[in-house]
Amino acid sequence: MDLLTFKKGIYPPHGKYLTEKKPIEEYLPKGNLVFPMSQHIGAPCNPIVKKGDRVLVGQKIGEATGFVSAPIFSSVSGTVKNIAPVLTAAGTKVNAVIVENDGEYEEIEFTKPKDYNELSKEEIINLIKDAGIVGMGGACFPTHVKLSPPPDKKIDSIIVNAAECEPYLTCDHRLMLEESDKIVEGLKIVLKVFPEAKGYIGIENNKPDAIEKMKEACKGISNIEVKVLKTKYPQGAEKQLIYAITKREVPSGKLPADAGCVVQNTATVREIYNAIVLGRPLTERVITVTGEAVKNPKNFRMKLGTNLKELIEACDGFKEDPVKVIAGGPMMGMTMSTLDVPSVKGSSGLLCLTKEQAVLPEASSCIRCGRCVTACPMNLIPSALDSLAKRHEYGAFEESHGLDCIECGCCTFSCPAKRHLIQSIRTAKRHVIAEKRKNSKK
């Protein structure tokens, strides 16, 4: 039987061997915890604590300020030392609540909700919203918004994105092996919100143990099915995943709901279980700390707000100094200037590369080979978009569907001239989007 997949794409070295056999380890932070008030797409939170306050595990410390926003909770007990701007992994400064960890991990009294089968659709969505859950694959879009499509959108497919196509990362893989029942239960909760939909769990075929484990967890559940996907990048991109499983195409400028689908990351679905069944907000996540520069790569369950430098120390440090450190994976992650930054809801990976893995030859002129076109899963012409971006021809860039770029990096990876195509396209996208926002406010 042919494996499910999408058109085009690439086959980068996966690097998952470093951590795919490493069970998740619990990590308790040693230093202060730092909670940026913007850990999601949308309006940042307002701090609702002040310097000197004592906070507990699970206590809300950041209040959402709009529908597209998500509250933030303390992952430790301790005293608020300060509220001040801090540097994040993205290189920006964000207002943050800084908590001195007392090491006690004293919790608030959590209210356990009743059986989710007795809850209405609206009650489930509100509990997810109140728990601060966002997309944990990296996009960090508030989950309650995804679960609230316009009434005219008929949703018939709920897809759990368990592809984990990004090289090196194995946090979702380990979750499937160690917490498969919680993932399936989380999906059942989402299906309660969309009772006419069917659930699909899409897993790449380079994770046979996870496929077996999830199929076992789904046994006897008529409206959930595990779909085996071809190992190819970017199989886990929303539009590519939807096409692979349903053979539907999301139109240009549209959202998955326009194709009748809602896509949720594996860790997100697991956190939905945590919020609804256990009544606990989002305060921790699994992260993969990996790369050839790390002495002992691991998968950690960490408290949100943990300093990333501590995680490297918990891996016994570096066996050689990394020349590049990336928040996330090598294809879509962000290069970091320092490890002295806090973890956030979207911290799926910390990748430390040696000179051998990270340094690329100097870029040369485009040789018009067309390999970027052959690789692009969105059927764009990256070389042309790159030229328009560099000439600041933003109108032509938009007309050439530059905003449809999903920033997967396939073009840069496949370019024999080693041109940094994705960087210029990403910059142009940011400019066009900023101009659109500015014009909409006039």
415 is annotated as contributing to ligand binding: yes
410 is annotated as contributing to ligand binding: no
Cα(89)–Cα(39) distance, rounded to whole angstroms?
11
Q: Of 1, 19, 31, nearest to 308 (Cα)?
A: 31
Helix or strand (DSSP H, E) at 434:
helix 421-440
Exposure of 221 in the CB half-sphere (CA atoms within 13 A): 20
Cα(140)–Cα(153) distance, rounded to whole angstroms?
22
366 is annotated as contributing to ligand binding: yes
Cα(184)–Cα(349) distance, rounded to whole angstroms?
23
**In sequence order, which residues have a C-beta less than 8 Å from that of residue 288 and are 6 or more positions away?**
19, 168, 169, 170, 171, 297, 298, 299, 348, 349, 350
261 is annotated as contributing to ligand binding: no
Q: At what angle do helices 421-440 and 382-390 cross, to 10 degrees?
A: 60
Cα(363)–Cα(139) distance, rounded to whole angstroms?
29
Query: The tokens of 313 are what?
Result: 């120390």
408 is annotated as contributing to ligand binding: yes
352 is annotated as contributing to ligand binding: no
Judge whether 332 and 353 are in contact, CB under 8 Å.
Answer: no
411 is annotated as contributing to ligand binding: yes
Judge whether 209 and 180 are in contact, CB under 8 Å.
Answer: no
H helix intervals, 218-277: 238-246, 266-277
165 is annotated as contributing to ligand binding: no
Binding-site sequence positions for [4Fe-4S] cluster: 366, 369, 372, 376, 405, 408, 411, 415
Binding-site sequence positions: 366, 369, 372, 376, 405, 408, 411, 415
